[in-house]
Structure 1
Amino acid sequence: MTIPPRGQQEAVASPAIPLLRSLTVERPPMSDHGLLDYVVRDDSLLWGRRGDGMIGFGESVRFESTGSERFALARDWWNSVIAAAKVENPMELPGTGPLAFASFSFSYTSTYASRMIVPEIIVGRTGDRSWITYTPADPLAELSINAAEARLAELLEEVSEERELSRGDDRLVAGTVSEDGYLESVAKGVAAIEAGRLTKLVLARDAVAELASPIAVAQVLRQLALRYADCWTYSVDGLIGTTPEMLVEVKGQVARARVLAGTLDRATAPANDPDYAHRMLSGDEKQRHEHQLAIDSLTEELGPLVSGMDSPAEPFVLQLPNVWHLASDVEARLRERADGSTPTALDLVEVLHPTAAVCGTPTKIAGEVIRELEGMDRGPYAGPVGWVDAAGNGEFGIALRGGVIESPCRVRLFAGCGIVAASLPEAELAESWAKMRPMREALNI
């Protein structure tokens, strides 16, 4: 499949393509809380870290796709929308102007509809600069800063109710994959690795939170953002969580990624041993092997699209409230094509997904083994989640440490673990529980 050049805008508007109008205006600096001051509605769209990012309200238009062409269809739709749009954006910063929040399914076989949503109102922040973008669905709506601020004020009047977090009648029950089923699938995965079918395999499981009263999404998102400040907190149409792993960030001609592979539960760490995490991760052959496979997968896929890449020789230990990870930050300069364009965020998402960190090595064989052994549809879990703007800039994390809201009182949580020849099923099950801890804490289960 050929990826169209970045910035190409030759699409002609048709009745199926909305004719969007969009206005972006810079606003005064936010408070020290940043975007968290605006996380008050359960139906908002969110991508944020340390107070920076974007929050969306309302919906101007959406696009959904399934199957193996879901990325290409979404990219073609977005290119057509932007080509037809009338945009006034004097800031021209990544994330300003019209943008789409997006969530893609992990597998082309999933019944989950990958989606892109253009909000009516976006409030954004990066450092000491903030802005508002107004993209009304109504073609006759007034397009002005006064109209934008009035609409934002109207939306913020509808604050969602909070929920008591000390309820004892909430419960966590088995999902599609039981604990025993997961132990069995991990054992079979190790056997497949030992038989030479593949080098690494990532197997996931689910659990269901059944709540006595409706989930307070905004409240959960605020807790996740505060507790996991080094992660990217996300909310896209019922998919919520806080991911430590950046699949790809594109800003201008630079692409960045944060790769995680190798995990250690902090709950079982001994006290008064400051070198424990480094010794157990950086000094462990299994953990280093798993991490190197993830790095190799990323750099191999990025290689043809970049003119230079900076990948550290040694990973660092990322400390999160629930676990430690081996982590590496990779930066690359995107290669210009003949017409001077460079790949967009959506281009790179399609090329890079799925990574070895959430699928395995080799990825094609790992995907086949996942479908044989895992026993569930991951839906958007471990798929790309994030945003893309009109210039092709964007940030897409991997949808980890989260869940899918299936009804007001039902949330399905997911977690997966990297399996190599030395993996022990009981240890991988324990690790999966540790990875569900962020959502369990936020839901108080």
Structure 2
Amino acid sequence: MSNPSPAAVATPLTQAPALRSITFERGDLELSTGLLDYVIRNDVHTWIRRGGGLVGFGEVARFTTSGPGRFAEGQQWWREVIAAADVVDPLARPGTGLLAFGSFAFSKTSRHPSRLIVPKIIVGSRDGKSWLTYITDDDGAELSPAAAETALASFLDDVEPERKPSQEDRLAPGILTEEQWMTAVSRGVAHIRDGELSKLVLARDVVAELGSPISTAQVLRELAVRYSDCWTYSVDGLIGSTPEMLIKVEDQTARARVLAGTLDRSSAPAGEAGYADRVLAGSEKQQHEHEIAIDSLTRQLEPFTRTMTSHSEPFVLELPNVWHLASDVTAELAPDGEGRVPSSLALVEALHPTAAVCGTPTTVAGELIRELEHLERGPYAGPVGWMDAVGNGEWGIALRGAVVETPTRVRMYAGCGIVEASQPTAELAETWSKFRPMIEALGLPVPLRY
């Protein structure tokens, strides 16, 4: 995936393809590795957590679009695909049958192409049980378990070699230097103190220049093993392992995980029990940032629900690189006037962008982001995930990730929630803690300061 340019405007497709698919159950996966045994190619699409999830190979259909209508246009295309499809899915579970992986640009003003991709082969797994879905646009293709296994085997024959660190590997500055970005944070705090907004999320980028081509599959495996409680994603060159679930829809129930408030584990005193609880849960600044994020999500989700529950107090989520304040939200979805429950992508459109990745109020924060960051976020902090033909889906926020611009150039992104009490040097250190998963997975050393 190349870095977006003014010429990278995608034209939506006007006619949905006629697809045929078959899904069948397979045997148990190896418990120690799960789906990671299938993450062996650089072009796989992935959605993996704790060894389960989805891995997609090949491509039979693609939809791209951009602008404010990107979600609605994606939904319309997907509805047309479903209406024209011939689907054999005796399992009828979330993630079986016809399915698309997706990645959407963060900003409605971005010219970065948002995309939905229907793979040819999907290996899925849940609770140790696996299934295989074979999708084709060929009317004459044989749809059978044997044909599906043959198609899968053809993809598995092409294994990408692992990459070893090179002396030529280096980290290069992104759009803004550290000093310029800290100035942007100071300016953001000034706007907050002037009462224009209560929270602003500012991101920055750094670039990994590699001496040899990246092994995306190797990076994904590293992330999935190290960050097993996160969702490891890969869609068309956008890769990462996000701790934040924007929305999950399963059998008319929606779930979300909201994170706001971060503490770097590398700076924690050795052996001090309760350190994260004291510093995060006991911090007025961190609690305030989290409260803004959770209120933003529940307010946007409420019109689509019958009932909704969330933690009365956030809990501390422990990850290998950081601690977060986190809250899980569960909601029973309500049907509309025609008796239809909203799809996962419809909820994505309603929820994005949340205060956790933009700020509050959203309109003011979005304008300041464009003014202060000087950064085309592209798919960073946008929705990434999958959806099936009956409305189920899982959409995370594309955090702790990167865009593979060329085989030897990888652009990484990290952001921080800025409130009135924010200090630029502390926010800069937080970005490095969030860069760490990708930097380490690439085999590069993590600098204390750039």
Please give the range of the TM-score, normalised by the shorter of the 2 chains.
over 0.9
Alignment correspondent of 2:356 = 357
Q: Is the 8 A contact 2:416 2:427 kept in 1?
A: yes
- SS at the partner of 1:122? strand
Alignment correspondent of 1:429 = 428
- The answer to whether 1:154 aligns with 2:151 is no
User: For residue 129 of structure 2, what is the amino acid of its counterpart?
Assistant: R
- Map residues 134-173 of structure 1 onto 2, 5 A cutoff: 134-165=134-165, 167-173=166-172
Alignment correspondent of 1:396 = 395
Alignment correspondent of 1:409 = 408
Q: Report the CA distance between 1:254 and its aligned residue.
A: 0.3
Alignment correspondent of 1:24 = 23
Q: Report the CA distance between 1:431 and its aligned residue.
A: 0.3
Alignment correspondent of 1:347 = 346
Alignment correspondent of 1:47 = 47
- SS at the partner of 1:381? coil
User: For residue 305 of structure 2, what is the amino acid of its counterpart?
Assistant: V
Alignment correspondent of 1:102 = 102
Tell me how far apart the structure 2 counterparts of residues 283 and 247 of structure 1 sit (CA, whole Å): 26
- SS at the partner of 1:135? strand
Once the two structures are superposed, residues 257-304 of structure 1 have per-residue CA deviations (whole angstroms, 9 ceiling, x without a partner) of: 000000000011000102110000000000000000000000100111
- SS at the partner of 2:136? coil
Q: Report the CA distance between 1:137 and its aligned residue.
A: 3.5
Q: Report the CA distance between 1:15 and its aligned residue.
A: 7.5
Q: Report the CA distance between 1:242 and its aligned residue.
A: 0.1
Q: Report the CA distance between 1:129 and its aligned residue.
A: 2.0
- The answer to whether 1:375 aligns with 2:389 is no
- The answer to whether 1:248 aligns with 2:247 is yes
Alignment correspondent of 1:418 = 417
Q: Is the 8 A contact 1:59 1:137 kept in 2?
A: no
- The answer to whether 1:120 aligns with 2:114 is no
- Map residues 172-211 of structure 1 onto 2, 5 A cutoff: 172-211=171-210
Q: Is the 8 A contact 2:18 2:137 kept in 1?
A: no
- The answer to whether 1:263 aligns with 2:237 is no
User: For residue 369 of structure 1, what is the amino acid of its counterpart?
Assistant: L
Tell me how far apart the structure 1 counterparts of residues 29 and 190 of structure 2 sit (CA, whole Å): 54
Structure 1 residues without counterparts, runs of 5 or longer: 1-13
Tell me how far apart the structure 1 counterparts of residues 257 and 414 of structure 2 sit (CA, whole Å): 18
Alignment correspondent of 1:10 = none
Q: Report the CA distance between 1:79 and its aligned residue.
A: 0.4
- Give the share of equivalent positions with the same residue, in percent: 61
Q: Is the 8 A contact 2:254 2:333 kept in 1?
A: yes
User: For residue 312 of structure 1, what is the amino acid of its counterpart?
Assistant: H
- SS at the partner of 1:417? strand
Tell me how far apart the structure 2 counterparts of residues 110 and 169 of structure 1 sit (CA, whole Å): 33
Tell me how far apart the structure 2 counterparts of residues 78 and 42 of structure 1 sit (CA, whole Å): 26
Q: TM-score, normalised by structure 1?
A: 0.96
Alignment correspondent of 1:223 = 222
User: For residue 306 of structure 2, what is the amino acid of its counterpart?
Assistant: S
Q: Report the CA distance between 1:100 and its aligned residue.
A: 0.4
User: For residue 57 of structure 1, what is the amino acid of its counterpart?
Assistant: F
- SS at the partner of 2:28? coil
Once the two structures are superposed, residues 86-129 of structure 1 have per-residue CA deviations (whole angstroms, 9 ceiling, x without a partner) of: 00000000000010000000001112100000000000001032
- Range 75-84 or range 336-345, more displaced: 336-345
- Range 132-141 or range 358-367, more displaced: 132-141
Structure 2 residues without counterparts, runs of 5 or longer: 1-12, 445-450
Tell me how far apart the structure 1 counterparts of residues 318 and 176 of structure 2 sit (CA, whole Å): 29
Alignment correspondent of 1:287 = 286
Tell me how far apart the structure 2 counterparts of residues 19 and 137 of structure 1 sit (CA, whole Å): 6
Alignment correspondent of 2:325 = 326
Q: Is the 8 A contact 1:345 1:388 kept in 2?
A: yes
Tell me how far apart the structure 2 counterparts of residues 168 and 437 of structure 1 sit (CA, whole Å): 19
Q: Is the 8 A contact 1:120 1:137 kept in 2?
A: no
Tell me how far apart the structure 2 counterparts of residues 181 and 388 of structure 1 sit (CA, whole Å): 39
- The answer to whether 1:63 aligns with 2:55 is no
Tell me how far apart the structure 2 counterparts of residues 294 and 201 of structure 1 sit (CA, whole Å): 11
Q: Is the 8 A contact 1:200 1:418 kept in 2?
A: yes
Q: Report the CA distance between 1:139 and its aligned residue.
A: 3.0
User: For residue 50 of structure 1, what is the amino acid of its counterpart?
Assistant: R
- Range 137-146 or range 215-224, more displaced: 137-146
Alpha-carbon RMSD: 0.9
Q: Is the 8 A contact 1:106 1:379 kept in 2?
A: yes
Tell me how far apart the structure 1 counterparts of residues 69 and 200 of structure 2 sit (CA, whole Å): 24
- SS at the partner of 1:101? strand
User: For residue 56 of structure 1, what is the amino acid of its counterpart?
Assistant: G
Tell me how far apart the structure 2 counterparts of residues 154 and 85 of structure 1 sit (CA, whole Å): 24
Name the CA shift for 1:368/1:143 in 2 (closer, same or farther; >3 Å).
same
Name the CA shift for 1:137/1:212 in 2 (closer, same or farther; >3 Å).
farther
Q: TM-score, normalised by structure 2?
A: 0.95
Q: Report the CA distance between 1:178 and its aligned residue.
A: 1.5
User: For residue 338 of structure 2, what is the amino acid of its counterpart?
Assistant: D
How many residue pairs were aligned? 431
Tell me how far apart the structure 2 counterparts of residues 83 and 412 of structure 1 sit (CA, whole Å): 38
Q: Report the CA distance between 1:365 and its aligned residue.
A: 1.0
Tell me how far apart the structure 2 counterparts of residues 61 and 371 of structure 1 sit (CA, whole Å): 33
- SS at the partner of 2:197? coil
Tell me how far apart the structure 2 counterparts of residues 443 and 338 of structure 1 sit (CA, whole Å): 50
Alignment correspondent of 1:7 = none
- SS at the partner of 2:271? coil
Q: Is the 8 A contact 2:52 2:128 kept in 1?
A: no
- SS at the partner of 2:339? coil
- SS at the partner of 1:293? helix
